[in-house]
Amino acid sequence: MDDEGDDASAKDEDQDDGDGDQPSKRSKFRKNPNVDTSFLPDRDREEAERKERERLRQEWLRRQEEMKQEDIEITYSYWDGSGHRKSVTCKKGDTISTFLEKCRQQFPELRGISVDNLMYVKEDLIIPQHHTFYDFIINKARGKSGPLFNFDVHDDVRLLADATKEKDESHAGKVVERSWYQRNKHIFPASRWEVYDPEKEYGKYTIA
């Protein structure tokens, strides 16, 4: 009996000792407040960041749409061997095709010509009709002798004393009948014209 009692007491002591160790063992696995855990996954933080990115994206899209609705006055010259200058008001988001339709309405001799048979030439580049003015403005596109994105007409850069310098301005583009271009493409100035390629770099001018 005494032996059994001693065994039972020893078991109780072992259990007590085991229970006594548990708090100390648990304390070893508690978080250290001084450790940086920001790199660890956090669903709440990730969701908040996702919502903020989406909010900024929507805000950017809204601003771009507002910009596309802004009016710009474009001075152009209907070119048939000599210039006939006029101006037309468009939206920045309008396509070149829309612009040419408005130009067509301003000249009686063009009203019988379809838009597909008209060309817009800017800085010696034939601008494809599917592009928008916004495309050129946002990308700060350039032509052979100046910027395409600024449609205010000032002095032609080629008339400046230093032809390697330009002001932050551009001269009037030309609206041309495609048939006229086909007849005269071997003659200056049409001999300089080429179709605009957004991947190509035109000119090495610096803005003064």
Question: pLDDT tens digits for 117-174?
Answer: 999 998 888 999 999 988 888 888 887 777 776 644 443 444 444 444 334 445 688 9
117 Cβ contact partners less than 8 Å away, ≥ 6 residues apart = 177, 178, 179
Q: What percent of the chain stands above pLDDT 90?
A: 19
At residue 173, the pLDDT reads 87
| Helices (runs of H) and strands (runs of E) counted in the chain | 5, 8
Highest CATH level, class, for 68-207: alpha beta
d(CA 128, CA 178): 13
CA distance 142 to 135: 12
Label residue 46 by pLDDT band (50, 70, 90): confident
Instruction: Say how far apart CA 103 and CA 88 lie, in whole Å.
Output: 7
pTM > 0.85: yes or no: no
Please say whether the dihedral angle defined by the alpha carbons of residues 131, 137, 138 and 142, taken in this order, is positive or negative: positive
Residue 67: pLDDT over 70: yes
Distance CA 139, CA 177 (A): 28
Mean predicted confidence (pLDDT) in 3-15: 54
